[in-house]
Amino acid sequence: MLFNSIDFAVFLPIVFILYWFATNNNLRLQNFLITVASYFFYGWWDWRFLALILFSTIIDYTVGLLLQKQETLLHRKILLWVSIIVNLGFLGFFKYYNFFQENFISAFTFFGYDIQASSVNIILPVGISFYTFQTLSYTIDIYKRKLEPTNDFIVFSAFVSFFPQLVAGPIERATHLLPQFYVKRKFEYTKAVDGMRQILWGLFKKIVIADNCAEYANQIFNNSEDLSGSTLVLGAIFFTFQIYGDFSGYSDIAIGTSRLFGFDLMQNFNFPYFSRDMAEFWRRWHISLSTWFRDYLYIPLGGSRGGTWMKVRNTFIIFLVSGFWHGANWTFIVWGGLNALYFMPLLLTNNNRQNIGPIAEDRLLPSFKEVLQISITFSLAVFAWIFFRSTDINHAIDYISTIFSSSLFDSVDYRKINRSLLTISMILFLIIIEWLGRDGKHALQKFGLSWKTSIRLTFYFIVCLLIFMFSGKEQEFIYFQF
């Protein structure tokens, strides 16, 4: 079920009414309703994958209870590895089976061996990368004694399948989200209104920005061999805002929807395109994933404690794994490696945490230095996104080669450039609103609250009108494929 669909527009108010009015604020009934609604929501795509998420839930629930009873270190490690192998085994099979098979065959063909094998038509379950990491955080935290396991299977099922963030995050930690299912929830008007504002802005980013940028980015990337370097730069910029509008838009809708039901999810995007260096970019982009890799991979590998070599090695590992997490294609691995290279100068000079504070704090406009820093960081991100979007490595190399050819200085030869001007104006509108609202956890959290009610409502009406004008495409979210 898509957030930007009529189906969800019917589903959400029904669940909301049942949750607050039919359960009589009974916590167990509310949790049960969330579980049923979440399984219905997930099964709307393909009911067959409900068995997969249920099996994963049962395994980690059982492992959690057994870990609580075990004191022997060996037995605890065995239980932990059962959870890791089952979860990563499912993820590896559904997501990477054909990738490894094809590369295995290619390697042997290179050395003169002819291996015949047919690919298996495997359907990737929506959201498997997200809920797999979420359940893994549960068993790992219990193993590390940071969390007590739950005895309530309904609560744990609700935690694993919580429909707002089930298929594309944020990837919630058990230590943060699970306890919220035990706290009696009361409807809070201010929290719900703020949630609606965040949903509104998320829909704007998805429908107005991402879906329209996708149209132009797809046309340019799919016909890149016939276009000039200047046009390919435009295509890369369109994709840059497509993936941001799409993924951060999903996160906004997920977080806002959660607030309607009395839950607080972690912030997943913190205006990353205003970053002053790549280290800051990765503190602001897909925060739930980058912090997951930090806590469950980077730190266990030794983090930054073992000297320069260990820091470099561990940084490359988490970026390469992050790239591979996104998909079974060498383009994602190169994208991850490129971001690791971006990170290196900051890491080696100990400047990777120099830009921690807010951008242009207490000022309307950034300084010239900040503008230059933001421009350089944005350009590096755009360049890396070319690999992310390309169909394969050769496509990416050809695309970049054309950009750095003499045609870079030619006029844009994209035949739909005039049509795209409206989308470009919407991107500028997005940038302005997000800059003015950058002090909040989402763009509209504080933006316009000091205005007269009539002016603020007029602004919301304009945003709604833009969403309505640009609606109708109902494209899936990019991160559903990951």
Q: Which residues are catalytic?
A: 326
The terminus-to-terminus CA distance of the chain in angstroms comes to 16
Cβ atoms of residues 169 and 254 within 8 Å? yes
Integer Cα distance of 200 and 253 in angstroms: 8
Q: Of 328, 254, 283, 318, whose CA–CA distance to 482 is shortest? A: 328
HSE of 434 in the Cβ direction (CA atoms, 13 Å)?
23
Integer Cα distance of 159 and 356 in angstroms: 31
Question: Is residue 23 classed as helix, strand or coil in its secondary structure?
Answer: coil
Amino acid at 15: V
Integer Cα distance of 431 and 315 in angstroms: 31
- Where does 267-354 show beta strands of DSSP type E? none
DSSP state of 227: S
Query: What region does 271 belong to: left with phi over 0, alpha with psi -120 to 50, or beta?
Result: left
Integer Cα distance of 424 and 443 in angstroms: 19
HSE of 300 in the Cβ direction (CA atoms, 13 Å)?
11
